[in-house]
Amino acid sequence: MLRMIEKIIIPIQPVTKKNHGQIVPIKGTKRYIMLPSEQFRDYRTAALYYIRMRVKPIQAAVNLRCLFYMGSKRRVDLVNLLQCVCDVLVDANLLEDDNSNIVVSMDGSRVLYDKQHPRTEIEITEVENDTQNKT
């Protein structure tokens, strides 16, 4: 039996973290780092407003089901949208981490279209983590 832990609606246009990032040199070295785009930083700030912060983050094995309602029919990479959501949930202290011991699946996630009300709907359900039983 799956137990619903959280249901979150972020009522703004979903964005990916990777598009339009900035490559910046690390001072005093020949190395570079990739900084998230301004669009992602704005999304993160707004999304954190809609996510109920937790004192103690979720440490149990969970399934994330993310429905991304886009405001246009432009193609978008589902994996990048999921990565964005995972990063925001960790930043909000909702998830302890987004590694495979905690986010064990993302079943049911998909991209949809809603021109009038773009948004992200996130359902977090606890699942039985059977990875410890495998040899």
Contacts of 17 (CB under 8 A, 6+ apart): 36, 37, 40, 80, 83, 84, 87
> What is the pLDDT, as a whole number, of residue 135?
46
Domain covering 3-128 in this structure, CATH number: 3.30.1330.70
Residue 59 identity: Q
Return per-residue pLDDT of the chain as tens, 135 residues: 578 888 999 999 999 876 666 777 888 888 888 777 888 889 999 999 998 777 788 999 999 999 999 999 999 999 999 999 999 999 999 999 999 999 999 999 999 999 999 999 999 999 986 655 454
- Token pair of 54 as six digits: 């937790």
> What is the pLDDT, as a whole number, of residue 130?
64
Q: Are 60 and 75 in contact (CB under 8 A)?
A: no
Exposure pattern of 99-135 as b/e (b: 16+ CB <10 Å)? Answer: eeebbbebeebebeeeeeebbbebbbbbeeeeeeeee
> What is the pLDDT, as a whole number, of residue 34?
75
> What is the pLDDT, as a whole number, of residue 23?
77
- Token pair of 47 as six digits: 């999304």
> What is the pLDDT, as a whole number, of residue 54?
74
> What is the pLDDT, as a whole number, of residue 21?
65
> What is the pLDDT, as a whole number, of residue 104?
95
- Looking at residue 110, the DSSP 8-state letter turns out to be E
Q: Are 105 and 63 in contact (CB under 8 A)?
A: yes
